[in-house]
């Protein structure tokens, strides 16, 4: 075991897979000399050279489209879109090309690529560089969507994503890059579609992913003092979704809170809530609550930026409400 | 254009002549069956533009890639795709090249390097560049040709792709099939310069404009560009001045142009007529030769139609399959 | 040969097109592929090319006419050639004939119009390939059938002699129609009218909407009275496969008023019974099919003219449905939603249902005072610890309303909804009545007649009704229907439930006549033999519960009557008479009346009249 940063885990996964398979290469804005603005590709240029660590112009459409075109031929590109907010510049490729290729060709042409990007707030980057847009991707059939919360998960999931024969949208969080965690020395993979119980509990299930998992764990600590034993379930991948893990946890607790940074309205929490209401109705001992981002663009100033996202306080309040009675937001 | 200077034989010319005929007869049949409701979908025909696909694909190997558009029949056929599976796909049948789920605009023929046609105008530019990136990294003997129209030439993807391809010296040939109309919008009213080929200069790559209805001119330009790409010298941009003889889609009223304009091209600058004339005037091509060729093309297409009709329609039970690869 | 040019189908969803411009006139020559017309669809306008070279012999439509795809719009041929009559279906794309040869469905040598595609509803025999008397082998082409999509040769389903072609060429016929008979030289030729549509042809099964159903083979739920809306098949007297003669008893039908034997309207074999015993069926609905042996009966038809409400009664007396009911328990009061529903989590509800806990007495501790699982668990623990408070799970059975019960329920509800019911009560001294009855019966004993109290009551009421005609009226939409007769219904408890047989013309009957009539009809009621007519036409009803020791009660009006008299028991009571306490046999009468018709005073007057007759029965002789 060694303790490394989330961004080091990403770089390590890329390096291992590039060593393993010469068809794997990296392309994106500033990925080469600087190792990316978040340093998640640091060190790759030195080891693999400019042919496999390809710095691109600021052309998201070309980055996504060219990577898709190469993947269709059998390459395994890991293309980087610097901010998920920039996806608008190449959305046709995501929406109509990489996602539909396998289906429309009846499996004859596949797109074994990873579109790495990052989102989330916390750096006062304002409304076009702080968003959480995973729902845009989970709504498109044919994509897989992965959002790891820890260095361990990031490495194991990225390696699997690279080996997957489908387009995987791999969304990191700008607030996680410097977080640290233990990662084994030896190689490991984490399958997509396997949620992880980050904390065992029996009173309430807090479902989350990406950086919100850390907040959920903080909230669980506070809840413990109030006599509430919260379970924190990290989905890790949204598509495929590990509903089995959700079922197991909800059967145990009967209470669910879903928390994510993305806007609450039609966010991924709505999907999870709907599936639980549909399939686990009789297991519920309380309404399903969401603690999610406000339905506004992310404000730039520090406090509003924080307060427009889920907070530990709001999460604790919600858990107390459904575990110990009382009125919500009371 | 002297065919001998291009190193072409009579057999080569007949082959290209037959190819253009095959594309046209295939599409005319597709339209006929579309009018009966047997072929389904949104029909964008390539009629009139056959010389472009024919001229390029004559020079390509099976392993080379092409990226195509919604007007894809010509590209598929010229590249050697199975026309039986094409016709079946147009009919939504299980024996179609995508088992009925792709349809006219989204066909595929990976065995001959056409990975997917596209309903999104401009997508072929980035995807074709991506194919070229693959060639340059993993299969240097191959090249990629990205076909798009004058409509696609005005997408942002065009510039991003040209720039990146030029920057990385990718073995891709950008082929703008300027058929003069993006649906109803004439190129003069959509394109600041009126033509496209000059844009190549902005990316530091060769750019030429040829008569896209003269298969020999197309061939000549294609040869130079493909050779250049194979030598690893990077992309070329070729604007083929061609003309679509049918509407944008079947059912297009075509109020944006006169019948005289269409008739004029049909009469004096149809790629098939041009080649027929050349064969007859210079290469002892007889009426009997012509009839025999036409018959063989008709028979080939009739067999494709029969193949398609005999196929079973795509089943609802199968519609969930292959969303993901294993 | 002249070729028809039809309105083309220019797209999957094009259904019709408009000829906006003819580009050729009649008499013009046209080359194949040359533009012939400009056709406008809802999407675009297109020039359509001629399918043939020749002379435009005929333009079947003018410009700007919208025509369905497939409609012939022009005819092209050689000059002088005969111009064909246009038929309305689309030219067959030659290519579809590649499809596998179609085989017609058959039953016993009958060749039916085949169903050649999911949406084919009818076909046209474009050509008979055999004539009557020809021999044909199974699989040999017999006819050319044109659908709206294609033209197909259809093969014979049997080997034999083509004995009969039921239809000429060019006739459009629904799928499943018998079109030919193939059999031996001496086989009788079946009458196509007696053949039902082939069940092999799915189109024929869509009898619900297809007008082609042969209704002449149905035995329908009879309408046995003016206000009968549905009947229950009480008993089938014949089974499927039995032979039945016209006029023979086929089923017993239970109406809201009685059980009636229904006779078959047809002779033949019972081909199909559509409803089981106990099922309620709207009047006019086919309940059985009767026809020649071997005929295939259609699936259960629904007659378009009938109201669409489905017969909802279960097939057999339904098994009692058990619903859990939990025992009341003192404790808290559950929080409720604004709609009145108890606030409880799904998990709590599930556990409560499993354990039989009544939620309304639990105090919720969850969010918004919702009852949660823990509340139910706590309750169960407490209950388990409390010795006497063992949780019993009583049961309640639900028996679906059927027959008389259902009808009574509906009529009583209607009665209360439609009339302004109120009542007056009065105690009546029956000393004289009892004495009168005794005297009369002593005289009538030799004739075997025994006048009952109710008979005398009925006679009293009839007299009173004649004197108070408003009490004898019906309130109808068009006004009051006054009657010059008094038909008095006697409410009877019968094994089937409440029945009200009616004694007619009570006002003109003598007491012995009345007594005989009432005895006869009450016996019929008790034996379940009442006919609908026995229960119709009443203008007034008497309901007597004296035999059950009821002192006094209120009856519900029997619409459209204005009054009903509820009669209590006769009992000795202490009454004041001339300042003395005396014991008298007394009886309470309660008159329920419709205040829409009668005001309080006239109603009181009417009741008083009755009282006077009862207390002075000798007046009945006047």
Identify whether residues A143 and A173 lie together within a single domain: yes
DSSP H/E element including B268: helix B259-268
Mean pLDDT: which of B176-185, C137-146, C556-565 is highest?
B176-185
Cβ contact, residue pair B130, A73, below 8 Å: yes
pLDDT tens digit string along A276-313? 999 999 999 999 999 999 999 999 999 999 999 999 99
CB of B36 less than 8 A from some CB of C:
yes
Higher pLDDT, B215 or C2: B215
Whether residue B126 and residue A74 make contact (CB cut-off 8 A), yes or no, is no
* pLDDT cut 90: percent of chain C above it: 22
Residue of chain B minimizing CA distance to C43: B251
Helix H or strand E segment including C49: strand C45-49
What residues of chain A lie within 8 A of the CB of B164, using their CB?
56-57, 59, 62, 66
Q: Among C188, C124, C200, which residue's Cα sits nearest to residue C157?
A: C200
Residues C403-418: tens digit of each pLDDT: 677 778 888 888 888 8
What is the structure's pLDDT at B234? 97
Could you report the predicted ipTM of this complex, rounded to two decimals? Answer: 0.96
Angle at C293 between CA C292 and CA C295, to 5 degrees: 75
Contact C372 A286 (CB under 8 A): yes
Q: Which fold has domain C215-291?
A: OB fold (Dihydrolipoamide Acetyltransferase, E2P) (2.40.50)
Question: What DSSP element (H or E) covers C528?
Answer: none
Residue A145 lies inside a defined structural domain of this protein: yes
Give the 3-state secondary structure of residue C104. coil
Largest Cα span, chain A: 61
Domain boundary residue, one of A126, A150, A183: A183
The interface residues of chain B toward chain C in range 290-319, judged by CB-CB distance below 8 A, are: 305-306, 309-310
For residues C255-274, give the mean pLDDT.
81
Are B138 and A71 in contact (CB < 8 Å)? Answer: no
CB atoms C367 and A287 under 8 Å:
yes
Instruction: Print the SS3 string covering C57-91.
Output: EEECCCCCCEEECCCEEEEEECCCCCCCCCCCCCC
Given the structure tokens 């006004």, which residue do they identify? C479
**Left, alpha or beta for B175 (phi > 0: left; psi -120 to 50: alpha)?**
beta
**How distant is the Cα of C8 from the closest Cα of chain B, in angstroms?**
7
At A172, give phi and psi (nearest 5°): -90, 180
Mean pLDDT of C305-323: 37
Position C246 scores a pLDDT of 86
Token couple for B164: 């990146």
Residues A170 and A25 in one domain: yes
Q: CB–CB of C333/C360 below 8 Å? A: yes
> Does residue A189 fall inside a structural domain?
no
Tell me if chain B has a CB within 8 Å of the CB of A168. Answer: no
Model pLDDT, residue C87 = 62
Give the pLDDT confidence score for residue B262 in this predicted structure: 96
Decide which of C318 and C554 is more confident.
C554
Residue B54 lies inside a defined structural domain of this protein: yes
Q: Is there a contact between A296 and C364 (Cβ–Cβ < 8 Å)? A: no
CATH 2.40.50.100 fits C94-205, yes or no: yes
| Size (chain C), residues | 622
- Cα separations in angstroms, A41 against A3, A77, A211: 18, 14, 20
Domain that holds residue A136: 2-183
- With 60 as the cut, is the pLDDT of residue C88 above it? no
Whether residue B322 is contained in a domain is answered as: no
Q: For residue C70, what pLDDT is reported?
A: 84
Mind telling me how many Å the CA of B225 is from chain A's nearest CA?
A: 20
Task: For chains B and C, count residue pairs whose Cβ atoms are closer than 8 Å.
Answer: 38
Which residue of A49, A57, A69 is the best one to mutate when testing the B interface, meaning the one whose CB has the most B CBs within 10 A?
A69
Residue A318: closest C-alpha in chain C? C367
Q: What pLDDT does residue A133 have?
A: 98
Look at A299-308, C142-151, C530-539, C558-567 and tell me which has the smallest mean pLDDT.
Answer: C142-151
Q: At what angle do helices A312-324 and A212-225 cross, to 10 degrees?
A: 50
**Tokens (6 digits) for C448:** 């075997």
Question: Would you say the C-alpha torsion C254, C258, C259, C263 has a positive or negative sign?
Answer: negative
Q: Which residues contact A53 (CB under 8 A, 6 or more apart)?
A: A25, A26, A27, A31, A32, A41, A44, A45
In a domain, B63, yes or no: yes
Residue A188 belongs to a domain? no
- Report the half-sphere exposure of C99 (CA within 13 A, side-chain side): 18
Residue B164 to residue A62, Cβ atoms within 8 A: yes
A75–B133 C-beta distance less than 8 A: yes
**pLDDT tens, N- to C-terminus, chain B (326 residues):** 789 999 999 999 999 999 999 999 999 999 999 999 999 999 999 999 999 999 999 999 999 999 999 999 999 999 999 999 999 999 999 999 999 999 999 999 999 999 999 999 999 999 999 999 999 999 999 999 999 999 999 999 999 999 999 999 999 999 999 999 999 999 999 999 999 999 999 999 999 999 999 999 999 999 999 999 999 999 999 999 999 999 999 999 899 999 999 999 999 999 999 999 999 999 999 999 999 999 999 999 999 999 999 999 999 999 999 999 99
Q: What is residue C321's predicted lDDT score, i.e. its pLDDT?
A: 36
Distances (CA, A) of A186 to A19, A48, B194, C466: 15, 21, 61, 110
- In percent, the amount of chain C with pLDDT more than 70 equals 83
Whether the CB-CB separation of C214 and C150 falls below 8 Å is answered with: no
For the cut 80, the answer to whether the pLDDT of residue A183 exceeds it is yes
Handedness of CA B303, B305, B308, B310 (dihedral sign): negative
Do residues A230 and A262 share a domain? yes
Residue that the structure tokens 């004289």 belong to: C432
**Domain assignments of chain C as residue spans, ordered by start:** 3-77, 94-205, 215-291, 321-396, 404-621
For C576-600, what is the mean pLDDT?
A: 92
* pLDDT tier, C200 (very low <50, low <70, confident <90, very high otherwise): very low
Q: Give the count of domains, chain B.
A: 1
Check B123 against A144: CB less than 8 A apart: no
pLDDT the model gives residue B17: 98
Whether C481 is catalytic: no
**B41 at interface of A, judged by CB pairs closer than 8 A:** no
Q: Residues C441-469: what's their mean pLDDT?
A: 90
Backbone phi, psi, residue C430, to 5°: -110, 20
Hey, are the CB atoms on C98 and B36 less than 8 Å from each other? no
Residue where a domain terminates, one of A162, A183, A204: A183
Domain assignment present for A279? yes
CATH code (residue A6):
3.40.50.970
The sign of the dihedral angle between the CA atoms of C278, C279, C282, C285 is negative
User: Looking at chain C, which residue has its C-alpha nearest residue B305?
Assistant: C95
Say whether residue A75 is in contact with chain B using an 8 A CB cutoff.
Answer: yes
Answer yes or no: is B2 within a domain. Answer: no
Q: Do C347 and A284 touch (CB under 8 A)?
A: yes
B263: domain CATH number?
Answer: 3.40.50.970
Contact at 8 Å (CB) between C474 and C540? no
Contacting chains of B (3 CB pairs or more, <8 Å) are A, C
Please judge whether C368 and A327 are an interchain contact, meaning their C-beta atoms are less than 8 angstroms apart: yes
- Residue A164 token pair: 């997957």
- The residue of chain C nearest to residue B308, with distances taken between CA atoms, is C95
Q: Same CATH topology for C3-77 and C215-291?
A: yes
Q: What is the pLDDT of residue C186?
A: 79
Q: Which residue has the tokens 């959509």?
A: B190
Residue with tokens 């993807």: B157
Shared domain check, A280 and A154:
no
Q: Which of A101, A107, A108, A164 to mutate to test the interface with B (most CBs of B within 10 A)?
A: A108
Residue in C424, C483, C595, C612 annotated catalytic: C595
Residues A174 and A207 in one domain: no
Please, how many CA atoms are within 13 Å of residue A273, restricted to the half-sphere of its CB? Answer: 19
pLDDT given for residue C149 in this prediction = 61
Nearest CA in chain B to C47: B253
Average pLDDT in the A156-160 region?
98
| pLDDT given for residue A268 in this prediction | 98
pLDDT range class, residue C301, cuts 50, 70, 90:
low
Lowest mean pLDDT among A259-263, B118-122, C109-113, C301-305: C301-305
The pLDDT value recorded for residue C331 is 55
pLDDT digits (tens, 9 = 90+) for A48-60: 999 999 999 999 9
Is residue A154 domain-shared with residue A6, that is, in the same domain?
yes
| Residue B183 Rama label (left phi>0; alpha psi -120 to 50; beta) | left
DSSP-derived secondary structure letter, A95 = I
Residue from the list B65, B138, B157 with its beta carbon closest to the beta carbon of A75: B138
Mean pLDDT of C221-234: 79
State the pLDDT confidence band at C382, using cuts at 50, 70 and 90.
Answer: confident
Q: Would you call B263 an interface residue with chain C, using a CB distance cutoff of 8 Å?
A: no
**Which residue of chain C is at minimal alpha-carbon distance from A319?**
C367
Rounded to whole angstroms, how far apart are CA atoms A256 and A286?
A: 8
Structure tokens at B87: 């016709």
- List A150's β-bridge partners, or say none: none
Catalytic annotation on C551? no
| Gap from C421 CA to chain A (nearest CA, Å) | 48
Q: C173-209 burial string, b = 16+ CB within 10 Å, else e? A: bbbbbbbbbbbeeeeeebeeeebbbbbbbebbbbbee
Least confident of A79-93, B292-306, C257-271, C539-553: C257-271
> H-helix or E-strand containing C610?
helix C600-615
Q: Is residue B65 part of a domain?
A: yes
Q: Which residues of A touch C352 (CB under 8 A)?
A: none
Q: Which of C335, C345, C363, C375 to mutate to probe the A interface, most A CBs <10 Å?
A: C345
Q: How many helices and strands in chain B, by DSSP H and E?
A: 12, 7
Is the model's pLDDT at A257 over the cut of 70? Answer: yes
- List residues in chain C touching B: CB distance below 8 A: 8-12, 41, 43-46, 93, 95-96, 98-99
Residue C445 has pLDDT above 60, yes or no: yes
d(CA A172, CA C578): 107
Q: Which residue range is the domain that position B62 belongs to?
A: 10-310
- Domain assignment present for residue A329? The answer is no
Q: Give me the pLDDT at residue C164, please.
A: 86
Q: With bands split at pLDDT 50, 70 and 90, how would you rate the model's confidence at C197?
A: low
* pLDDT score of C212 more than 60: no
B89 CA: distance to closest CA in chain C (Å): 16
Residue A130 sits in the same domain as residue A242: no
Question: Which of the residues B69, B130, B139, B148 would you substitute to probe the A interface, choosing the one with the greatest number of A C-beta atoms within 10 Å?
Answer: B130
Cβ of A69 and B128 within 8 Å?
A: yes
Note the pLDDT of residue C257: 65
Query: How close is the nearest chain A Cα to the Cα of C358, in Å?
Result: 17
Please state, as a whole number, how many other Cβ atoms lie within 10 Å of the Cβ of residue B31: 15
Q: What is the mean pLDDT of residues C324-341?
A: 60
Task: Tell me which of A183, A212, A246 is where a domain ends.
Answer: A183
Question: Does some domain include residue A282?
Answer: yes
Residues in chain A: 330
Interface of A with C in 131-160 (CB under 8 A): none
What is the pLDDT, as a whole number, of residue A328?
A: 61
Over pLDDT 90: what percentage of chain A? 97
Interchain contact B168–A (C-beta under 8 A): yes
Kindly tell me if the per-residue pLDDT of C602 is higher than 60. Answer: yes
Tally of domains in chain A: 2
Q: Is the dihedral of CA B64, B68, B71, B73 positive or negative?
A: positive
The CATH code belonging to domain C404-621 is 3.30.559.10
Least CA distance to C371: which residue of chain A?
A285
Chain B residues whose beta carbon lies within 8 Å of the beta carbon of residue C46: 247, 250-253
| CATH number of the domain located at residue range(s) C3-77 in this protein | 2.40.50.100
Task: Nearest by CB to A285, from C368, C369, C373: name it.
Answer: C373
Q: Closest partner residue to A62 among B118, B160, B322, by Cβ?
A: B160
The pTM of this model reads 0.62
Question: Quick one: pLDDT at residue C117?
Answer: 65
User: Is A329 in the C-facing interface, judged by CB distances under 8 Å?
Assistant: no
Which residues of chain C have a Cβ shorter than 8 Å from any chain A Cβ? Answer: 345-350, 364-370, 372-374
Residues A119 and A215 reside in one and the same domain: no
Query: What is chain C's alpha carbon radius of gyration, rounded to the nearest angstrom?
Result: 38
Q: What is the mean pLDDT of residues C87-106?
A: 44
- Where is pLDDT greater, at A94 or C185? A94
Q: How many contiguous H segments (helices) and E segments (strands) does chain C have? A: 8, 38
Axis crossing angle, helix C431-444 with helix C453-467, rounded to the nearest 10: 110
Quick one: A203 and A165 in the same domain?
Answer: no
Please state which CATH class domain C321-396 belongs to. Answer: few secondary structures
pLDDT value at C107 more than 70:
no
Confidence of residue C590 (pLDDT cuts 50, 70, 90): very high
pLDDT at residue A311, rounded to an integer: 96
- In a domain, residue B321? The reply is no
């Amino acid at each position: 075991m060694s303790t490394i940063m989330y961004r080091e885990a990403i770089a390590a996964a890329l390096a291992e897979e590039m060593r393993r398979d010469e068809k794997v290469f990296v392309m994106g804005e500033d990925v080469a000399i600087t190792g990316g603005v978040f340093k998640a590709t640091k060190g790759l240029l030195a080891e693999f050279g400019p042919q496999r660590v390809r710095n691109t112009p600021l052309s998201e459409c070309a980055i996504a489209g060219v990577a898709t075109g190469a993947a269709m031929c059998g390459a395994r590109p890991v293309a980087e879109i610097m901010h998920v907010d920039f996806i608008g510049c190449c959305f046709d490729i995501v929406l109509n090309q990489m996602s539909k290729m396998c289906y429309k060709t009846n499996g004859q042409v596949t797109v074994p690529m990873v579109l790495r990007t990052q989102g989330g707030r916390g750096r006062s980057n304002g409304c076009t560089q702080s968003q959480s847009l995973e729902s845009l991707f989970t709504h498109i059939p044919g994509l897989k969507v992965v959002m790891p919360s820890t260095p361990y998960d990031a490495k194991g999931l990225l390696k699997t994503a690279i080996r997957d024969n489908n387009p995987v949208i791999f969304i990191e969080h700008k607030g996680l890059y410097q977080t640290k965690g233990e990662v084994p020395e030896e190689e490991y993979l984490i399958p997509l579609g396997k949620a992880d119980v980050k904390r065992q509990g029996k009173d309430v299930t807090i479902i989350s992913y990406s950086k919100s998992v850390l907040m959920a764990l903080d909230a669980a600590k506070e809840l413990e003092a109030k006599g509430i034993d919260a379970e924190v379930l990290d989905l890790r991948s949204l598509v495929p979704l590990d509903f089995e893990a959700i079922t197991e946890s909800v059967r145990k607790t009967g209470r669910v809170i879903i928390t994510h940074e993305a806007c609450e309205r039609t966010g991924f929490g709505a999907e999870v809530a709907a599936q639980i209401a549909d399939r686990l109705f009789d297991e519920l001992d309380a309404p399903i609550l969401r603690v999610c981002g406000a339905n506004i663009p992310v404000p730039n100033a520090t406090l509003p930026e924080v307060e427009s996202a889920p907070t530990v306080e709001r999460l604790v309040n919600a858990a107390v409400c459904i575990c110990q009675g009382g009125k919500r937001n009371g | 254009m002297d065919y001998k200077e291009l190193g072409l034989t009579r057999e080569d010319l007949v082959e290209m002549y037959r190819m253009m005929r095959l594309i046209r007869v295939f599409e005319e049949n597709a339209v006929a069956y579309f009018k009966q409701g047997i072929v389904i979908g949104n029909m964008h025909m390539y009629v009139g533009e056959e010389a472009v696909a024919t001229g390029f694909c004559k020079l390509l190997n099976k392993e080379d890639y092409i990226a195509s558009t919604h007007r894809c029949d010509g590209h598929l056929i010229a590249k050697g795709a199975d026309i039986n599976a094409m016709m079946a796909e147009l009919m939504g049948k299980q024996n179609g090249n995508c088992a009925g789920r792709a349809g006219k605009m989204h066909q595929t023929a990976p065995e001959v390097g056409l990975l997917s046609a596209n309903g999104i105008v401009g997508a072929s530019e980035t995807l074709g560049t991506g194919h070229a990136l693959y060639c340059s990294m993993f299969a240097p003997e191959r090249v990629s040709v990205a076909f798009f129209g004058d409509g696609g030439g005005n997408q942002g993807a065009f510039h991003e792709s040209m720039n990146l391809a030029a920057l990385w010296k990718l073995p891709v040939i950008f082929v703008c099939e300027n058929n003069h109309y993006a649906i109803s919008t004439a190129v003069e009213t959509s394109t600041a310069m009126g033509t496209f080929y000059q844009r190549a200069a902005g990316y530091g790559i060769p750019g030429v404009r040829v008569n896209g209805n003269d298969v020999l001119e197309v061939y000549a330009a294609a040869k130079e560009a493909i050779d250049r790409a194979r030598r690893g010298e990077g992309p070329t941009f070729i604007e083929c001045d061609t003309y679509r003889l049918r509407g944008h889609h079947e059912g297009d009223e075509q109020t944006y142009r006169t019948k005289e304009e269409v008739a004029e091209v049909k009469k004096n600058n149809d790629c098939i007529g041009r080649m027929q004339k050349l064969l007859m005037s210079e290469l002892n091509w007889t009426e009997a030769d012509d009839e025999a060729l036409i018959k063989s093309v008709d028979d080939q297409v009739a067999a494709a139609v029969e193949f398609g009709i005999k196929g079973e329609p795509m089943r609802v039970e199968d519609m969930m399959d292959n969303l993901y690869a294993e | 040969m002249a070729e028809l040019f039809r309105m083309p189908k220019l797209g999957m969803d094009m259904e019709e097109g408009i000829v906006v411009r003819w580009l050729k006139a009649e008499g013009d020559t046209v080359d194949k592929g040359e533009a012939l017309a400009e056709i406008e669809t809802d999407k675009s306008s297109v020039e359509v090319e001629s399918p043939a070279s020749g002379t435009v012999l005929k333009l079947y439509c003018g410009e700007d006419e919208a025509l369905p795809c497939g409609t012939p719009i022009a005819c092209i041929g050689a000059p002088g050639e005969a111009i064909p009559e246009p038929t309305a279906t689309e030219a067959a794309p030659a290519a579809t004939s590649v499809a596998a040869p179609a085989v017609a469905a058959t039953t016993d040598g009958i060749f039916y119009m085949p169903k050649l595609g999911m949406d084919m509803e009818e076909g046209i025999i474009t050509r008979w390939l055999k004539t009557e008397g020809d021999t044909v082998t199974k699989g040999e082409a017999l006819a050319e059938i044109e659908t709206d999509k294609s033209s197909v040769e259809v093969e014979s389903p049997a080997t034999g002699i083509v004995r009969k072609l039921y239809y000429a060429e060019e006739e459009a016929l629904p799928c499943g129609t018998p079109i030919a008979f193939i059999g031996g030289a001496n086989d009788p030729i079946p009458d196509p009218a007696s053949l039902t549509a082939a069940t092999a042809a799915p189109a024929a099964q869509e009898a619900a909407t297809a007008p082609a159903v042969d209704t002449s083979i149905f035995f329908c739920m009879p309408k046995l009275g003016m206000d009968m809306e549905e009947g229950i098949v009480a008993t089938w007297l014949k089974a499927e496969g039995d032979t039945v003669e016209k006029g023979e008893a086929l089923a017993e039908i239970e109406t809201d008023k009685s059980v009636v034997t229904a006779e078959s309207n047809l002779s033949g074999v019972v081909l199909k019974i559509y409803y089981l015993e106990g099922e309620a069926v709207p009047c006019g609905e086919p309940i059985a099919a009767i026809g020649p042996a071997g005929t295939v009966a259609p699936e259960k038809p629904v007659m378009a003219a009938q109201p669409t409400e489905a017969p909802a009664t279960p097939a057999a007396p339904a098994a009692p449905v058990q619903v859990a009911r939990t025992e009341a328990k003192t404790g808290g009061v559950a929080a409720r939603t604004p709609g009145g529903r108890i606030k409880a989590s799904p998990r709590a509800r599930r556990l409560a249902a499993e354990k039989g806990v009544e939620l309304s007495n639990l105090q919720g501790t969850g969010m918004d005072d919702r009852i949660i699982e823990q509340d139910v668990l706590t309750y169960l623990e407490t209950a388990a610890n409390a010795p006497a408070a063992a949780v019993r799970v009583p049961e309640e059975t639900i028996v679906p309303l059927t027959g008389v019960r259902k009808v009574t329920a509906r009529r009583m509800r209607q009665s209360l909804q439609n009339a302004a019911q109120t009542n007056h009560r009065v105690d009546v001294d029956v000393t004289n009545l009892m004495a009168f009855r005794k005297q009369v019966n002593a005289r009538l004993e030799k004739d075997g007649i025994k006048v009952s109290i109710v008979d005398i009551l009925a006679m009293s009421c009839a007299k009173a009704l004649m004197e108070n005609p408003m009490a004898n009226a019906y309130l109808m939409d068009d006004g009051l229907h006054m009657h010059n007769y008094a038909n008095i219904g006697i409410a009877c408890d019968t094994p089937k439930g409440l029945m009200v047989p009616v004694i007619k013309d009570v006002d003109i009957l003598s007491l012995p006549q009345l007594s005989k009539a009432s005895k006869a009809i009450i016996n019929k009621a008790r034996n379940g033999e009442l006919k609908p007519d026995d229960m119709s036409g009443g203008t007034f009803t008497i309901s007597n519960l004296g035999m059950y020791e009821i002192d006094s009660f209120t009856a519900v009006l029997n619409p459209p009557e204005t009054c009903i008299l509820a009669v209590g028991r006769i009992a000795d009571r202490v009454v004041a008479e001339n300042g003395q306490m005396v014991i008298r046999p007394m009886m309470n009468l309660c008159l329920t009346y419709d205040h829409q018709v009668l005001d309080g005073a006239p109603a009181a007057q009417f009741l008083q009249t009755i009282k006077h007759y009862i207390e002075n029965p000798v007046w009945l002789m006047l």
